[in-house]
Amino acid sequence: MARIDISKVTKFYGKTQVVHGVDFTIEDGEFVVILGPSGCGKSTLLRMIAGLEEISGGTISIAGEVVNDKEPRARGCAMVFQNYALYPHMSVAENIGYGLKVAGVPSAERLMRVRAVAKTVGLEEFLDRRPGQLSGGQRQRVAMARAMIKEPKVFLFDEPLSNLDAKLRVQMRIEIRKLHQRLKATSVFVTHDQVEAMTLADRLVIMNKGIIEQIGAPKDVYDRPASVFVAGFIGAPGLNLLPATVSSDSHSLTLADGQRLIIEPTRYPSLNPGPVTLGLRAEALNIRQGGAFVPQGGLKATFDFAEELGVGQHIHAEVAGSPLVIHVDGRHPFAFGAGLNIDVSPRDMQLFDSVTGLRITETDVPTSVSAAA
């Protein structure tokens, strides 16, 4: 078993606290992605798991054993870094097998294991080459093979795809996911790229300013973000966020320009009159083609520009002084400044507290989604 238990973990640099009492568990064989913007503490947390950073408070356990005071080499982890950290004067085979050589593994056994792991990541033809003769994707595979050959209990990935071009990133995401399916090793992957996170993770841990904002399966986090921060960070584009005011009877919302939308008050048992933030997914909105505008069932917006996606477009518009993005199939040749009538279903509305930024409780929130305390 290689379950990782992280309990009330904190990290200080001098008097500055960068990780604030983090609590969560990574199950044996699970692929967890820690996602967040630069400076949120995600890489620091990963390095504390690896033993490369000292823990200021709390405990980290791997396979049931507290590892706070254990050296990195004694934790059963293998780490793949953002930079490949390969020895340029060594061949691919020598780079992959160097850890075994240091550990005193006999040459014949070492060569056998190097060839086996090289085959797993598609490097059999490159064993005699040096890192400088390889592409970026191939060098990252060498770094992964070097980690794999140790047969670790835990794989730790610290933004390993950041130095690759867009096409290679896609290819390596696929390879990493396939590798995890074959090895079933507990894996922790740190990234600031939400597309990487959504496509790789069994579960997401979303961090912001040293705290966990939300933990959940990618689809659950996408469908039910726990806070305004998560709502804006997850998705391409993120959730449209519009300031609004709940009516005195809690049956409608009024935007900054006076436009009104009907809401379903039975969905929000704790909803009170006053300011809120309205969230709308781009793909949940529809531009009405012809016909009369439906007051309180839609929004009037002004077209700015269209972002071409190949299979569709993101229509960028403005409503009540705020930006709004609508996903459409096909192409719509609107002129700059054209008026748009947009259908909005009450079932697609998401509401957030305008002060705390937290999601307002709904009656139909799935139990698989959890927000940090």
Percent of the chain with pLDDT over 90: 58
**What confidence tier does 136 reach under pLDDT thresholds 50, 70, 90?**
confident
Distance CA 273, CA 224 (A): 22
Distance CA 40, CA 229 (A): 12
> Which pLDDT belongs to residue 330?
82
| pLDDT surpasses 60 at 373 | no
Q: Give residues with Cβ within 8 angstroms of 28, minimum separation 6.
A: 1, 2, 3, 186
Question: pLDDT averaged over the chain?
Answer: 89
Listing DSSP states for 11-64 in one string gives: EEETTEEEEEEEEEEE-TT-EEEEE--TTSSHHHHHHHHHTSS--SEEEEEETT
- Whether 213 contacts 229, CB under 8 Å: yes
Distance CA 186, CA 141 (A): 18
- Whether 31 contacts 198, CB under 8 Å: no
| pLDDT surpasses 60 at 369 | no
> Which pLDDT belongs to residue 239?
94
> pTM value?
0.86
Determine which of 29-43, 77-91, 197-211, 317-331 has the lowest per-residue pLDDT on average: 77-91
Residue with tokens 């992957």: 189
> Which pLDDT belongs to residue 243?
97
**What confidence tier does 293 reach under pLDDT thresholds 50, 70, 90?**
low
**Residue 373 CB: number of other CB atoms within 10 A?**
7
| pLDDT surpasses 80 at 295 | no
| pLDDT surpasses 70 at 44 | yes
pLDDT tens track for 58-103: 999 999 999 999 999 889 898 888 777 889 999 999 999 998 888 8
Q: Give residues with Cβ within 8 angstroms of 232, minimum separation 6.
A: 238, 239, 241
pLDDT tens track for 199-223: 999 999 999 999 999 999 999 999 9
Structural domains in the chain, sorted by start: 4-223 (3.40.50.300), 230-371 (2.40.50.140)
